[in-house]
């Protein structure tokens, strides 16, 4: 029986061995460089109980960006000491939840949060909290504008050039309940060039050196974020994600630091789960107009993968029954949503597929399920983990009853 027959479509399928292999490839580079490290999986890319469990099995840390992600990690019994809590507008309730859960690290993003956290800790005088400061190092990554986060004009983090980052460090160091581990920067996502990461590493080391000299601060952690680009189609040719890390570690090793090299943390999301996942859809209607590219419609679309509509992201599809079948036509692979922009692949090269055929859209493991919606009241698809020849349902397909379970009658 095929996965589509067993679990229905649309469905997200993950090759768990590929997820594990990427965690291990990162770990291998760190070990080869004799670096102290943490691989903190950016769980926004794909956050489910099963995924937090796999991350824990791989001895990874995770980063969470909301109370909901933290709750899911707790539900998965993920070790809280290995959780970093991110976010540019953490609420008081979220900070309370993080403190109650004893998350390992809170990554402070702004002065408002710093005040909130300091006040909450005063109510528990015996407690301290490890923190990192997220800084905006003023480095622009070459990627989609919505995927840039390291430039000065960003909503994330303390600005370095204006002195805000140092002012924040001064306040944290003066607070006996906050234990400053070091700094964090994330320059963006789906980045192909190493040079932004190398520049960021140098800039962060310069900041830490300044803080060492002027604030008498010795860092124990330098967190360089994630953002390593992946191949979505055959025309993408990124470096293996672990090679970005090797370049970062070489840069750090070459630096002449006045303190012992801190532990290096990274936060890969997309590179861990993106290539490992694909989506299965069933072909339905087809519209052929002479002189126009045909529309081939599938049973999902922008509700389960918003990335083409949001970032003009490209994907590639293959027939699930015969992934290597020769392409004989170029079609628009569209979804079933009531939007003209609901185009999964604008130029899908496929053999002629009849209604009922199952098509696989590749490399959809990151920011697909996690950004899915119920637009048009479509239930979110099932998620399946495949490993060692076994396939296991790890997220049930939503039912129509799930769609109305929070609706209240107005009669």
Ligand X SMILES: Cc1ncc(COP(=O)(O)O)c(C=O)c1O
Ligand Y SMILES: N[C@@H](CCCC[NH3+])C(=O)O
Rule CB under 6 A: say whether 268 interacts with ligand X: yes
Identify what 267 binds: ligand Y, ligand X, none; CB under 5 to 8 Å per kind.
ligand X
- On whether 339 is known to bind a ligand per the annotation, the reply is yes
Residues 6+ apart with CB under 8 A from 65: 43, 44, 85, 86, 87
Rule CB under 6 A: say whether 84 interacts with ligand Y: no
Of the candidates 29, 10, 79, the one whose C-alpha atom is nearest the C-alpha of residue 369 is 10
Identify what 307 binds: ligand X, ligand Y, none; CB under 5 to 8 Å per kind.
ligand Y
Q: How far is the CB of 105 from ligand X (least distance, A)?
A: 12
Q: In angstroms, rounded to a whole number, what is the distance separating the alpha carbons of residues 347 and 355?
A: 19
Instruction: Using alpha carbons, list the distances in angstroms from residue 88 to 48, 63, 133, 147.
Output: 22, 13, 12, 15
Identify what 26 binds: ligand X, ligand Y, none; CB under 5 to 8 Å per kind.
none
**Helix-, strand-, coil-residue percentages of the chain, each rounded to 5:** 35, 25, 45
DSSP state of 130: E
Rule CB under 6 A: say whether 186 interacts with ligand X: yes
First-to-final CA distance of the chain: 46
- Of 112-120, 186-194, 305-313, 397-405, the window that binds ligand X (rule: CB under 6 A) is 186-194
Within residues 295-354, the interface with ligand Y by CB under 6 A covers 307, 311
Identify what 268 binds: ligand X, ligand Y, none; CB under 5 to 8 Å per kind.
ligand X
One of 82, 86, 90, 203 touching ligand X (CB under 6 A):
86
Within residues 290-349, the interface with ligand X by CB under 6 A covers none
CA dihedral (301, 305, 307, 313) positive or negative: negative
- Asked if 133 contacts 165 with a C-beta cutoff of 8 angstroms, the reply is yes
Chain-centre distance for alpha carbon 28: 21
Rule CB under 6 A: say whether 225 interacts with ligand X: yes
- Asked if 102 contacts 81 with a C-beta cutoff of 8 angstroms, the reply is yes
- Can you tell me which residue has the tokens 């000491």? 81
- On whether 356 is known to bind a ligand per the annotation, the reply is no
CA dihedral (320, 189, 148, 61) positive or negative: positive
Within residues 189-208, the interface with ligand Y by CB under 6 A covers 189-190
Residue closer to ligand X by CB (options 10, 188) is 188
**Interface pattern 38-57 for ligand X (x via CB under 6 A):** ----x--x------------
Q: DSSP alpha helices (H): ranges in 33-134?
A: 49-57, 67-75, 92-101, 111-122
Within residues 158-177, the interface with ligand X by CB under 6 A covers none
Which among 17, 81, 100, 338 is annotated as catalytic?
338
Residue closer to ligand X by CB (options 24, 34) is 24
For residue 236, how many C-alpha atoms fall within 13 Å in the half-sphere facing its CB? 20
Within residues 136-155, the interface with ligand X by CB under 6 A covers 149
Helix or strand or coil: residue 411?
coil
Identify what 227 binds: ligand X, ligand Y, none; CB under 5 to 8 Å per kind.
ligand X
Residue closer to ligand X by CB (options 42, 302) is 42
- On whether 270 is known to bind a ligand per the annotation, the reply is yes
- On whether 267 is known to bind a ligand per the annotation, the reply is yes
Rule CB under 6 A: say whether 270 interacts with ligand X: yes
- On whether 335 is known to bind a ligand per the annotation, the reply is no
Q: CA angle 130-134-139, nearest 5°?
A: 155
Instruction: Using alpha carbons, list the distances in angstroms from residue 64 to 45, 59, 74, 137, 251.
Output: 10, 16, 11, 22, 28
Residue closer to ligand Y by CB (options 295, 311) is 311
CA dihedral (164, 169, 172, 178) positive or negative: positive
Identify what 278 binds: ligand X, ligand Y, none; CB under 5 to 8 Å per kind.
none
- On whether 203 is known to bind a ligand per the annotation, the reply is no
- On whether 268 is known to bind a ligand per the annotation, the reply is yes
Residues 6+ apart with CB under 8 A from 242: 22, 25, 26, 28, 29
Catalytic residue check, 211: no
Rule CB under 6 A: say whether 147 interacts with ligand Y: yes
Give the catalytic positions in this structure: 338
Tell me which residues touch ligand Y (CB under 6 A).
44, 147, 149, 189-190, 307, 311, 367
Tell me which residues touch ligand X (CB under 6 A).
42, 45, 63, 86, 149, 186, 189-190, 225-228, 267-271, 366
Annotated binding site: 227, 267-270, 307, 311, 339, 367
């Amino acid at each position: 029986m095929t996965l589509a027959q067993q679990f229905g479509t649309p469905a997200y399928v993950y090759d768990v061995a590929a997820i594990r292999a990427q965690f291990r490839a990162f770990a291998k580079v760190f070990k080869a460089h004799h670096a102290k490290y943490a691989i903190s999986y950016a769980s926004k890319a794909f956050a489910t109980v099963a995924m937090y469990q796999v991350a824990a099995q791989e001895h990874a840390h995770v980063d969470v960006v909301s109370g909901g992600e933290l709750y899911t990690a707790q539900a998965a019994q993920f070790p809280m000491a290995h959780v970093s809590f991110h976010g540019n507008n953490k609420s008081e309730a979220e900070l309370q939840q993080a403190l109650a859960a004893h998350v390992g690290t809170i990554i402070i993003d702004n002065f408002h949060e710093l005040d909130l956290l300091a006040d909450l800790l005063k109510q528990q005088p015996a407690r301290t909290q490890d923190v990192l400061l997220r800084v905006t190092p003023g480095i622009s990554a070459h990627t989609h504008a919505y995927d840039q986060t390291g430039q000065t004009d960003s909503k994330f983090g303390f600005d370095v050039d204006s002195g805000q980052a140092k002012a924040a460090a001064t306040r944290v160091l003066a607070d006996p309940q906050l234990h400053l581990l070091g700094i964090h920067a994330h320059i963006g996502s789906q980045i192909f060039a190493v040079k932004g990461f190398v520049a960021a590493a140098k800039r962060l080391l310069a900041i830490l050196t300044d803080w060492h000299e002027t604030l008498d601060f010795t860092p124990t952690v330098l967190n360089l974020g994630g953002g390593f680009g992946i191949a979505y189609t055959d025309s993408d040719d990124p470096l293996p994600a672990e090679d970005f890390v090797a370049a970062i570690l070489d840069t750090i090793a070459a630096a002449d630091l006045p303190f012992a090299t801190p532990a290096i943390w990274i936060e890969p999301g997309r590179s861990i789960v993106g290539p490992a996942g694909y989506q299965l859809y069933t072909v339905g209607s087809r519209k052929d107009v002479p002189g126009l590219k045909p529309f081939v419609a599938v049973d999902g679309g922008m509700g389960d993968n918003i990335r083409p509509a949001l970032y003009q992201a490209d994907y590639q599809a293959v027939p699930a029954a015969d992934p290597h079948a020769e392409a004989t036509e170029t079609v628009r692979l569209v979804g079933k949503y009531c939007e003209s922009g609901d185009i999964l692949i604008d130029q899908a090269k496929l053999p002629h597929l009849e209604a009922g055929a199952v098509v696989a859209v590749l490399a959809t493991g990151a920011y697909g399920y996690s950004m899915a919606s119920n637009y048009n009241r479509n239930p979110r698809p099932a998620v399946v983990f495949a490993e060692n020849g076994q396939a296991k349902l790890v997220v049930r397909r939503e039912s129509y009853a799930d769609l109305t379970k929070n609706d209240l009658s107005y009669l």
